[in-house]
Structure 1
Amino acid sequence: MEEDLLPRSTINAEDIPPSIAGSSATPVLVLSTIVALCGSMSTGCALGYSSPAESGIMEDLDLSTASYSVFGSILTIGGVIGGLISGKMADLIGRRGAMWFSELFIFAGWLAIAFAKTALWLDFGRLLMGFGIGVICYVVPVYIAEITPKNLRGQFTSAHQLILCSGLSLMYFIGNAVTWRTLALFGVIPSLVQLVGLFFIPESPRWLAKIGKEKELETVLQRLRGKNVDISQEAAYIIDYTETFQQHSKSRILDLFQQRYTHSLIVGLGLMLLQQFTGVNAISFYASSIFEKAGFSSSIGTITMAIIQIPATALSVFLTDKSGRRPLLMGYSVAYSLGMAGLPWVIMSEIFPINVKGTGGSLLTLVNWSCSWIISYSYNYMTEWSTAGTFFIYTGICGLTVLFVTKVVPETKGRALEELQASINHFL
């Protein structure tokens, strides 16, 4: 197997400034990442809420199974809408602004659910949350990838999935001990923390380069790399390559389908499609009922899932910059949380250059949430047809995933963003 599928560009490793080639984790970098990851926690809480809350909501509000299915799946409809505008929003108001704006919707959504008296308010709150996390799922890994040096980028960016899994697991744990209204109020906490924290962290230096704010870029980069680090070369490097990318095209949706972006599109779309069609969200959304149908305790089952996911995803964070992205993606056939759970979002944040990152990210996020809706909506119908057949189909798609990663997905570890994007999209 080839070690690297990327064509090498004319950028030489010795030309890359030291702060890009490798840098330490400064307090500002760590704080910025933690604040961004509060959005990942919000996403995990939203995804994990419907399973432990199911019996309580149906009993208290006298909902039918069909009505609750609407409540569970409408999150993905909101995600589709949020995904559609996520990239454009992040380009217009910045990565930090997009996170802040989306958290307002998530915050409002949790409150609408916590105080809902009717199914209509439940669905409205769930829709708001879906819109918010549709944006968050795109902007968090992009922001983290754009502020970190390449030697830390994989670990820091893949922490998105670790914290997401932690939020989902937290809902499973707490949901067995508190009412569904109290559980919704717990979901408000990470949203509130991020809304406040965003006032204390810097904007992405690469977005600042995109909008021509070079002085602000240098100030931000100095904060991120440390006051004693010479950032002049890295700043010039980012500015030069941002200008090069933007000269080729403006950020229009049709520009994304130029031949030079074909490889990035195939990789990104393929990973997003395969991630969802393996059936992961069907299992997450309906975990309680799946365990019950199998004659197993739903509470013990969901808690066991929560316990398994966190260490597996934590191991992925550690290995992302050690073993690379491709081996972990193929490791999905062994453990979803180790590879396919979060790494498609990592790779999405890396492969598109700044001039089409917004449109590319929007398209991939839209596809991901659309496929999530298809899976969550079709699952019950498929199991009525054949439970075993449903899971055999998911298994077959897992096998296709290994083949796709082997033949198509490039290894991106150890590459500066500008070098990586220039080579995969054939700019140089």
Structure 2
Amino acid sequence: MGTEIEASLLPPQERESIKMVLLGTFVAVCGAFEYGISVGYSSPTEDAIISDLGLSLSQYSVFGSILTIGGMVGAISSGRIADLLGRKGAMATSAAICIVGWIAIAFSKAAWVLDLGRLAGGFGVGVFSYVVPVYVAEIAPKDLRGGLTTANQLMVALGSSIAYLVGQFVTWRVLALVGIVPCIVQVIGLFFIPESPRWLAKVGRQADFESALRKLRGKDANISQEESEIKDYTELQSLLPKTRIQDLFQKKYAHSVIVGVGLMVFQQFGGANAIVFYASNIFVSAGFSSGKVGSIAVAIIQVPITLLGAILLDKSGRKPLLMVAAAGTCLGCLLAGTSFLFKAQHWATKAVPALNLTGILVFTAFYSLGMGAIPWVMMSEIFPINIKGIAGSLVTLVNWFGSWAVTYSYNYLESWSAAGTFYIYSAVSAVAIVFVLKLVPETRARTLEEIQSSMASLGIFS
């Protein structure tokens, strides 16, 4: 990671203090790796599961898509769970639920057991998708926060790629057991990392708050200013009444809610999950004899480009990288749509597969560079502590709903017009560029308290 490179250049005392932050980040993003494995699991296992359990295609479709239903339920619950049990408690609970889900899948003899396991796993990763970036953002120093939070998306990409590649060589039951490994690593790791200092301050555990902050910043670090900022901000927020869902629509929260929800809408409705779930079908439709080569190329490109995004995030800033990424996904879908237009019109038919592959790889590269990770980074940064739980649940729910809507609607849209489908996705990314330019703030190198205070005072309706 880029943050590891930067950390190696720090003075010895600062390198020592950053070790706990890196350990905490590693333990947390095991949940993101689990998310990636869960998403990638259904693609390489489809034929074997249908054959072994005698499922119809519609029954397998239920199995594949029910992950997003569980994810939506987990998203609705995620903020409250993280506020009630703490960030570590929420991660431990999610890991336990995912383990139960994978065991049910690995030993299932009937479709309903398979679906229950998938549903449980969806709930677990739905909670992970909120609490992992929040925990990382709350423990990280402001100058490393962006890169470390981007590790969330890096591990999602790595998990899905590994699930696809390992799934080519092991049975679907063994692959389900592989999915347990990151959960076990995380549960063990949670015993060695501190709870989020900001959550400890919020619930009034003063001694634990100071101890956790000291572990994260080093025994010789001067934490007085950061400690004072967190305590003052938390005390101010504690004077506000308990947040309800309708409170999110107050004028003072409008900017942060619109940015958080809007980025998730553009991330999902730009077509990412249609490409992830149906990559093989897309390549075959474009004229490839098999979708395997193209799918492997997509899997391989995700990880290094996501790593590059992590390096650039704290150097270039969130806003410029988001705009570049949205422009790239717009171009990628435009190329893919044009390939299907050429095929339908019988224009340059020999060039159609190459044009399609280029478009999908361009989309994947730029999505991995910024559109995949930065909305989660922003979500973890822009909400005040008093509404972070409920606002985070809303944003995560929007993300999972978008995932379901896009994957469910793709086949219907594709049967209407493959070219038109990708042109719609391209238009969504084009609108995203304007949205980012006009509404999204730059949060690089600012404390969480500075970001949230500025958004409240400089809201779009003020």
User: What is the correspondence of 1:242-391 to structure 2 with a 5 Å cutoff?
Assistant: 242-294=234-286, 295-332=288-325, 333-334=327-328, 335-391=366-422
| Cα offset, 1:427, TM superposition | 9.1
* Range that drifts further, 175-184 or 293-302: 293-302
Residues 82, 135 of structure 1: 8 Å contact kept: yes
In the alignment, structure 1 segments of 5+ residues that lack a partner are 1-22
Q: Which residue matches 2:168?
A: 176
| Cα offset, 1:296, TM superposition | 4.1
How far apart in 2 are the matches of 1:290 and 1:59? 23
User: What is the correspondence of 1:29-428 to structure 2 with a 5 Å cutoff?
Assistant: 29-294=21-286, 295-332=288-325, 333-334=327-328, 335-426=366-457
Instruction: Give the partner amino acid of 2:452.
Output: Q
How far apart in 2 are the matches of 1:291 and 1:55? 18
- Greater relative contact order (CA < 8 Å, ≥ 6 in sequence): 1
| Cα offset, 1:297, TM superposition | 2.6
Residues 78, 127 of structure 1: 8 Å contact kept: yes
How far apart in 2 are the matches of 1:361 and 1:315? 26
How far apart in 2 are the matches of 1:288 and 1:127? 24
How far apart in 1 are the matches of 2:431 and 2:280? 28
| Cα offset, 1:387, TM superposition | 1.4
Deviations 1:74-113 (A, max 9, x none): 1100011000010011011100000110111111111111
Q: Secondary structure at the match of 2:144?
A: helix
How far apart in 2 are the matches of 1:143 and 1:427? 26
How far apart in 2 are the matches of 1:403 and 1:60? 49
Q: Secondary structure at the match of 1:339?
A: helix
Deviations 1:311-366 (A, max 9, x none): 11000100010000011111223211101101101000000010100011011011
* Range that drifts further, 305-314 or 253-262: 253-262
How far apart in 1 are the matches of 2:293 and 2:148? 31
How far apart in 2 are the matches of 1:403 and 1:422? 24
How far apart in 2 are the matches of 1:65 and 1:326? 42
Residues 106, 132 of structure 1: 8 Å contact kept: yes
Instruction: Give the partner amino acid of 2:310.
Output: V
User: What root-mean-square deviation, in Å, do the aligned CA atoms of Structure 1 and Structure 2 show?
Assistant: 1.4
Deviations 1:245-264 (A, max 9, x none): 22233232222221101100
How far apart in 2 are the matches of 1:232 and 1:219? 13
Residues 277, 394 of structure 1: 8 Å contact kept: yes
Residues 51, 284 of structure 1: 8 Å contact kept: no
| Cα offset, 1:205, TM superposition | 0.1
| Cα offset, 1:49, TM superposition | 0.8
How far apart in 2 are the matches of 1:68 and 1:344? 31
Residues 278, 394 of structure 1: 8 Å contact kept: yes
Q: Secondary structure at the match of 1:353?
A: coil
Instruction: Give the partner amino acid of 2:40.
Output: G
Deviations 1:282-333 (A, max 9, x none): 2212223333333243322221111111111000100010000011111223
* Range that drifts further, 285-294 or 331-340: 285-294
Instruction: Give the partner amino acid of 2:282.
Output: I
Q: Secondary structure at the match of 1:286?
A: helix
How far apart in 1 are the matches of 2:455 and 2:189? 35
Residues 113, 181 of structure 1: 8 Å contact kept: yes
Residues 51, 288 of structure 1: 8 Å contact kept: no
Deviations 1:383-423 (A, max 9, x none): 11111111111111111111111111111101111111111
Q: TM-score, normalised by structure 2?
A: 0.86
How far apart in 1 are the matches of 2:157 and 2:289? 22
